[in-house]
Structure 1
């Protein structure tokens, strides 16, 4: 005979055992046994429960909570299409090494192929995008096997044994009754998983080659380590805006532009941290046949965009060369930065790079920034380097635009300090359900800065924006939507303001966010390709 409540109790106990402190729940009847247990655990402070009506939003909220806390976070759904809606967040978590625990409720196996309501085959639902998966049935009641399966899968999520954390899928078949019955004695955990422990000895690199440090998307801790390495080795640092290494004396403001100059051609070795994806010049550099590419990765997997790495290591060490290599990059960067800022400051309209640059300058180490994909993250990559930048989070595993609002809310709930999110209008509209936060739920102090150019301006900077494609561009790439963002924001209870000039934006940014607020920065994308060409001509 099944025991849904006892099974749900064990699931929650094991979640707590691996350090889960945040759980996101989307309501449903079949998942009710878990919902009741989580409600009670939240009530006595064992964890914090977040409830969202949209499973896709719930998945990305959990992703943001996990990114910022660097702890495993669970998301709970009922059966059917509800479970499938978490898949985009699972994919991002897989490629970002984020410990996301997806718990999907299911009908008993006996009704799976009999046309039961909201019933489909959920086994293997997330295919190769999870580190591990399991099927648990509350009928028959077998706590020992439940515990074993949960321990195996949750250990895979944390990466305690593999060194590579990531999402996992636990599909639980609950039989009726789905409401709590008589209280049963707690099930005591019996298994302790000890994490693998090792202290990586840095690989000593040979001085000599003209070396550039490239830093892609990373956590704040990993970014700080990359920055510290570049400064110890006295090397120029090309740190992307989402690397958490873009600060200090070695970081370059215009690194991606300088790669197109003669200085870029002199590079003989690159030491790469994180996941660089923002610019074609960087990707072309990493693919050079004559380049000595060294990759630093703390996980069992590593990123190699040009498939050309000759060394992969947990850590590296390099003595300073003692020549003028880094100072040459610094001087070239200062010259290029002056010309770039002169170009942007002289524009008679509000541009995407201006919005991103003003935001970056307004934030410091006491702030947190979440960045959406597409144009804004690349615009931020041209912002002037500052000594103490904010902690930065972004969904760069797959660089999708979906779920960004929810991810930002999750990050804000964890850091509990002023949080800003920069995104384009299409990214914002793609996750408007993320703004729907019930009156019983917590809200962070989050300012969402929407660079609204009424469509997809990034395509204008690509081959699709060439004048030869002008007849089709606006319909299939520009995609103007004409949405009234003020009405949309206020309908969800968010604050709203609109800016049309850089000075107006500075005025808004001078005050910290209070609750969830949306700031619409109005941009004209008709000149986006022209501006991109002007920036490229600076090289």
Structure 2
């Protein structure tokens, strides 16, 4: 038999041997060979998502929750272009994705062939590695694709992790011979042994120190960070996406964004040294504090030497695994006077923030605390960007639990939220999405894979009919504010029940919210709990509960 595209079978086999377990397809003709081989291999968990934009965010969610690379497969032409928003997020949040774009062969390029564009370097700087698959010769017909798979995995997993791209020209016939023996051709074991990065330099950690724990979906060193903060008597400012708010310790500070509004108090709490782990925290007040103290030393500890401080105040970069760095620092500070100042501010502000549970009006901050009160310990929570992550930053209290937070804070976009959350749900753990109405509108197509693949997700939708965050920003007093920024839309989300066959409930009371959230977390399928709020009232209530009265 004359073999044509059958060399793609060992590519599929090699990815599995290198740790890939999930593949997300979007249907198309030119990608037939790849789709058939990945499916016929029978060892992968495969998903079909008809919308490439949604498919890429869905794969992003899988990779975040399972902590391993995920393969994406699409057809030729404009299909791959829809991957770009998710790839920008994957690049900046260090998530490994393997993108395989099918393409027409070289002799059909630049001659007006249908569904054909120049897919060379399709994703520019947003992928770590970009390669065009060649047609192998007789000598390397089965071995060449294995080496390509190895290069892609090595690049995706090398620090910083991120997405990679392989363009795959496929000539006709597009339907390959599905002989299972082709998967085994030219297999030789190939192993990857990753090392821990230990610090080669240990700074003197004495004096007044503040530790910043920012968003990082790859972070697993929470206990070591707490132990370091306790040894050196340093307040540990915990962004929700650091997942340090699933712990309790006297050094954990979670109400900082509220009390740092007070400039006099902020001056008292200024340190001699900042230490940053992960990305910069979402808190605007923390960033203002850093910017107002440029004379302080500023240490970034990261497994790469990427600059991740937009205030541009870093004075020392230490390349190290965070766990290794924290364990290596054995300094002890017996003077807790500076820490006590932070703890006093934390205690007073946390008490005030927690009063929100007694609020009679429909307010996002209250529902954040009700969610924390009700949720199962094993729940995964994806928090949308814009106001939702800020509401969680203010009102979610640090308590011992097994809840895990996720967020797309690489590029901070509001797109792809439903798809990312459904990707997270493939772990089988209870999964919750906290989102706003504009984010919901951006990715409603993403709900379809929840229906077609019978996935389980509960969505809490805060609907304030537009861009509520702009009521907190300088744009509030501009002309054409509603038209350009607040953007009221009047969408009736109850229609999603019929469109996607999901459960829909309009929340009308706190008791109803508690009851529905408890029920939904134990039921299968996609469930939407809509909480309607008022932008102007939410602004007033936010000021009421976060105003510093020290």
Pair in the same fold by TM > 0.5:
yes
Partner of 2:216: 218
1:493: how far off? 1.6
Partner SS for 1:267: coil
Among candidates 297, 303, 307, match of residue 298 of structure 1:
303
Corresponding residue of 2:459: 448
After the TM superposition, list the runs of 4 or more consecutive aligned residues in structure 1 that deviate by more than 6 angstroms: none
Which runs of structure 2 are paired with 1:224-263 in the superposition (5 Å)?
Answer: 224-246=223-245, 247-249=247-249, 250-261=251-262, 262-263=264-265
2:340 is aligned with 1:330: no
Distance 2:451 2:511 in 1: 34
Conservation of the 8 A alpha-carbon contact between 2:22 and 2:46: yes
Distance 1:217 1:2 in 2: 53
Structure 2 unaligned residues grouped into runs of 5+: none
Are residues 518 and 358 of structure 1, via their aligned partners in 2, closer, same or farther at CA, if it must alter by over 3 Å? same
1:388 corresponds to which residue? 401
Alignment of 1:334-413 (within 5 A): 334-342=347-355, 344-345=356-357, 347-363=359-375, 365-383=377-395, 384-388=397-401, 390-413=403-426
CA distance in 1, matches of 2:316, 2:50: 47
The answer to whether the Cα contact below 8 Å between 2:136 and 2:144 also exists between their aligned partners in 1 is: no
Which deviates more from structure 2 when the two are superposed, residues 164-173 or residues 235-244? 235-244
Q: Measure the CA separation in 2 of the matches of 1:154 and 1:362.
A: 40
What's 1:486 paired with? 494
Partner of 1:517: 527
Cα–Cα, structure 1 residues 103 and 340, in superposed 2: closer, same or farther, change >3 Å? Answer: same
Using the alignment, how far apart are the partners of 1:363 and 1:182 within structure 2?
Answer: 47
Shift of 1:228: 4.1
Using the TM superposition, give the Cα deviation of residue 438 of structure 1 relative to its aligned residue in structure 2, in angstroms.
7.2
Query: Do 1:157 and 1:166's aligned partners in 2 also have CA atoms closer than 8 Å?
Result: yes
After TM superposition, the score normalised by the length of structure 1 is 0.92
Local SS of the residue matching 1:381: helix
Task: For 1:530 and 1:2, locate their aligned partners in 2 and report how far apart those are by CA, in whole Å.
Answer: 73
Count residues in correspondence: 527
Q: Which string of whole-angstrom CA distances, capped at 9 and with x for unpartnered residues, describes residues 143-202 of structure 1?
A: 34433333222210111xxx3211000100000011123736432234735344245147
Q: Among residues 206, 209, 233, which one is paired with 1:208 in the alignment?
A: 206
Alignment of 1:316-327 (within 5 A): 316=326, 317=329, 319-322=331-334, 323-327=336-340
Query: Scaled by the length of structure 2, what TM-score is found?
Result: 0.90
Check whether the contact 2:380–2:404 (CA below 8 A) recurs between aligned residues.
yes
Q: How far apart, CA to CA, are the structure 1 residues paired with 2:305 and 2:498?
A: 46
Deviation at 1:325, TM superposition (A): 2.6
User: 1:176 maps to which residue?
Assistant: 172
1:125 matched to 2:114: no
Q: 1:418 aligns with which of 422, 426, 430?
A: 430
Structure-2 residue corresponding to 1:17: 17
Given that residues 24 and 48 in structure 2 are in contact (C-alpha distance below 8 angstroms), is that contact kept between their aligned partners in structure 1? yes
Asked if 1 retains the 8 angstrom alpha-carbon contact of 2:100 and 2:165, the reply is yes
1:533/1:455 Cα in 2 relative to 1: closer, same or farther (>3 Å)?
same
Give the conservation status (yes or no) of the 8 Å contact 2:352–2:545: no
Deviation at 1:451, TM superposition (A): 0.8
Q: 2:91 aligns to what?
A: 94
Unaligned runs of 5+ in 1: none
Contact 1:103 1:171 in 2 (8 A): yes
- Tell me what 2:185 maps to: 187
Cα RMSD after superposing both structures: 2.3
Structure-2 separation of matches of 1:151 and 1:275: 29
Deviation at 1:102, TM superposition (A): 0.6
SS of residue matched to 2:212: strand
Q: Distance in 1 between matches of 2:365 and 2:450?
A: 35
Matches within 5 A, 1:282-293: 282-287=286-291, 288-293=293-298
Separation of aligned partners in 2, 1:210 and 1:492:
54
